[in-house]
Chains A and B, each alone.
Chain A
Amino acid sequence: MREGSRIQLQIVRRESTEAPPYLQRILYETPDPNATVATALTDINKNPNQKDTEGNVVTPIGWECNCLQKKCGACAMLINNRPMLACDTKLSEYGKKGVIRVEPLKKFPVIRDLIVDRSILQENLKTIKAWLEEPVLLKDKQYDVAYEASRCLQCGCCLEICPNFYAGGTFAGTAALVPVSRLLAELPREEQKKLAKAYREHVFEGCGKSLACRKVCPAGIDVDKLLVNSNAMAIWKKQL
């Protein structure tokens, strides 16, 4: 039987967008060997008498989660300084030194505690006009690209790590590259053109291709493959 965990959770909290951040330390113990940061946050919020290490009552911690099985992207946050999904971060693996530090993603406006406003992801895709005007026919060979691209969670981890992305800038990052790849793979040749222009401006030109984004993508999306594929179609005008 694997063991549970006993860790100190250090949470960077903030009551509102304007309020100053503060660090709260909470001891959390669980017999569940599979417990994740999401489990810890849920349990802490469930306990009305939960105290922090200084003896203060812990007010409900604001954070987002929904599926608890790394499929919805809601629970992205900085964990030990790396953008990750709370529901996919096992305490037993990441709390080896007995401490886990949890912070909101830094590239997005903080609403409260660990909740950030990631609406820029949707706004960017609107700017790029990422949609289909006409029905498409999926050719067999594009299936793999379309499939891979459809796996994006819109979690924003890739944007957090990207040296070139900032909210409000022209560069929309991998969170736009991935969905746009699907469209580029699906659109007939003539209709690719408009999208190709937006792709060049909002993805291709800003990207340094270091692929730091690939390493943190919790869905494990094959970003290089999509990048190569989309560049070929949109920039080098090759029909794959």
Chain B
Amino acid sequence: MAKVNIIGAGLAGLSAAITLAEQGYECNLISNFPSERAQSVLAEGGINAALDTCGEQDTVENHFEDTMRGGVYLADPNAVWGLVQNAPQVVQRLADMGVPFNMENGRILLRSFGGQNKKRTAYAKSSTGKFLVYALIYESRKYEARGLITRFCHHEFIRLLLEEERGVRVKDTYTGRQYDFVGNVILATGGINGVFPGMTTGTVHNTGDVTATVFAQGMRLSNLEMMQYHPTTIGISGKRMLVTEAARGEGGRLFVNREGSPWYFMEEKYPELKNLMPRDVVAREMYFVVRREDTDGQVYLDMRGLPGDVWKRKLSDLREELLHYLALDPAKEPIPVEPGIHYFCGGIDVDERHATNLAGVYAAGECCSQYHGANRLGGNSLLGAVYGGKVAAQSVMADGDMKPQDGSVRAVDVSDAFAGEASPALIEELGKHLYEGLGIVRSEADLSKALGLVCELEDTCNCQRETARIALAKAILKSALARRESRGAHYREDYPDRDETFQRITVADAGEGKICISWKDIPERRGV
């Protein structure tokens, strides 16, 4: 029977696999690491759904509006409507699978998250992602035992097969052997952290190589300039560690010392949502306050006012983490925080059905550009990964373009140009230039300079993966240069205002070795 090939076994990949299996379809679930190691396990704060269990009259329409407004109207409204409308069902299904969401009298409790003025985020203390992943692993295991899901862990993506046969070439990292998997492909490979090595809150093995490679192979990417900085991260060895937004959702407050006394700048400037403004706004305010002459240049997160019960029942893991990494007790001392790269709103361009521009290839989860527009709301990406994986699987089934040989695996004994590893030194240098250009506050000058430096690296490339990485880097910078306005995560000091003529999506294409940035219109919202 025809099988679907899924690359990536985080939440999006698992969700796609389970959706197929529930309908009796078979799949190969391929990933460089087992699901237990996927970035999804790091998610802390929670998952959004208008469950309205807190008596606030929350509705799906409210969730829709918040998501569109948060993304500053750069997302496909029809896709977003599907997401928010299905969210309560998605969360209920996860609860049925045994996710220990915080509950009270049989109701799932909700917490406040940024950019939303209703309580809408379901959570399991501050380890929500972990529990979601484990619940889906259990579910997947059931179908693995029944032969519907076949796992290929320690198998790394090399490239798509786009010749007469479509499919994907992978390498077993244990043996070094290569295999071709024939048939439809769902990419669920997560965000491109490795493009910014050591500078993100995400995981090491989401290297960005998959996105870079498929881009070189003709895949369209979109909204690349929309990289989200999370306001509250701390530097630990080798990475930025997230301090979950739930800290502010539960009452944490940001301040900076101004002329000797704490100034709760968010509360003064934004009396309604205060510390829970969308992430782009908070990160930018932090950027500006630390540069003021009357402040001491460090923002703190003040959680001293949180009741003991909140620490115990809702944020126990966060407290342990801060004690462990900073030797600071957040219940007693303010925590020094800085913004850090956290989420890639853009990525592989997909339509409402999660199909890409390449026939037979679909994408879901953080690797694709869907739902979040110019800025993602906290709690919407776990939802986007689980729901997106499901939609991608449904689309593969609906498209029905499967042949009996699909899913068959063939050992191949050729050296593939895309199989070489990029050198860590080049990755590091590339990341540094990108970071300089793509800060919280950007300008034509900084972006052009970064682009120049990236282009200089082109001559030093030794393998196709390096070339592909440089092309991806250029595409991100060019997208940011093209957007001569400020919107969501993309703030240009030379164009500080929003410009409605730019209410369009940047699309990057790597045709004929040249990178082109074009614009895609946002579809009209259909009647509901």
Contact = CB atoms under 8 A, between A and B. Distances in A.
A binds B: yes
Interface of A: 32, 34-36, 38-39, 42, 45-46, 48, 64-69, 71-74, 87, 111-112, 115, 117, 119, 122, 125-126, 129-133, 135-138, 140, 143, 146-147, 150-154, 179, 182-183, 186
B204 A126 contact: no
A125 B98 contact: no
A48 B37 CA distance: 27
Contact of B425 (A48, A122, A179, A186): A48
A69 B153 CA distance: 22
Given A34-B325, A69-B42, A73-B36, A150 B141 contact: no
A150 B127 contact: yes
Nearest to B124: A147
A189 to B, nearest CB: 16
Interface string B7-37: 0000000000000000000000000011011
Given A66-B204, A138-B98, A32 B237 contact: yes
Contacts of A72: 36-38, 41-42, 203
Given A71-B41, A72-B37, A150-B127, A125 B100 contact: no
Given A131-B139, A140-B103, A146 B98 contact: yes
Contacts of B98: 132, 136, 138, 146, 182-183, 186
Interface stretch (B130-138, B252-260, B364-372, B490-498): B130-138
A87 B39 CA distance: 15
Given A111-B174, A147-B125, A154-B36, A71 B130 contact: yes
Given A73-B36, A133-B142, 20 more contacts: A36-B237, A36-B238, A46-B424, A64-B33, A68-B236, A68-B239, A69-B241, A72-B37, A119-B153, A126-B145, A130-B138, A131-B139, A132-B139, A137-B106, A138-B100, A147-B124, A150-B100, A150-B131, A179-B138, A183-B98
Contacts of B42: 67, 69, 71-72
Given A66-B205, A147-B100, A126 B36 contact: no
17 contacts: A32-B237, A39-B237, A45-B424, A66-B203, A67-B203, A68-B238, A69-B236, A72-B38, A73-B36, A87-B238, A119-B34, A130-B138, A131-B142, A132-B98, A138-B103, A146-B100, A179-B134
B237 A34 contact: yes
Nearest to A67: B203
A147 to B, nearest CB: 5
B423 interface: yes
A143 B41 contact: no
B contact face: mostly helix, strand, loop, or mixed: mixed
B337 to A, nearest CB: 16
A146 B424 CA distance: 41
Nearest to A122: B34
B39 A131 contact: no
B67 to A, nearest CB: 27
A98 B145 CA distance: 48
A68 B204 contact: yes
B445 interface: no
A179 B141 CA distance: 13
Contacts of A65: 204
Given A45-B424, A69-B42, A74-B37, A126 B238 contact: no
Contacts of A117: 154, 174
Contacts, number: 128
Nearest to B106: A137
B412 interface: no
A192 to B, nearest CB: 14
A45 B321 CA distance: 27
B310 interface: no
A39 B95 contact: no
Nearest to B326: A34
A87 to B, nearest CB: 8
B463 interface: no
A60 to B, nearest CB: 8
B371 to A, nearest CB: 24
B138 A131 contact: yes
B425 A143 contact: no
A66 B133 CA distance: 15
Enumerate the 4 nearest inter-chain pairs by beta-carbon distance, A residue then B residue, closest first. A135-B96, A131-B142, A146-B100, A72-B37
Nearest to A148: B100
B304 to A, nearest CB: 24
A66 B145 contact: no
A58 B153 CA distance: 28
Contact of B124 (A66, A69, A150, A183): A150
A129 B141 CA distance: 8
B516 interface: no
Contacts of A74: 33, 37
B130 A150 contact: yes
Contacts of A45: 424
A130 B425 contact: no
A137 to B, nearest CB: 8
Nearest to B205: A66
Contacts of A46: 424-425, 428
A236 to B, nearest CB: 23
A146 B127 CA distance: 13
A149 B276 CA distance: 32
Interface in B408-459: 423-425, 428
Contact of A126 (B95, B97, B144, B237): B144
B95 A138 contact: yes
A146 B101 CA distance: 10
Most chain A C-beta atoms within 10 Å of own C-beta, residue among B36, B142, B236, B424: B36
A14 B100 CA distance: 42
A138 B203 CA distance: 31
Contacts of A146: 98, 100
Interface in B207-243: 236-239, 241
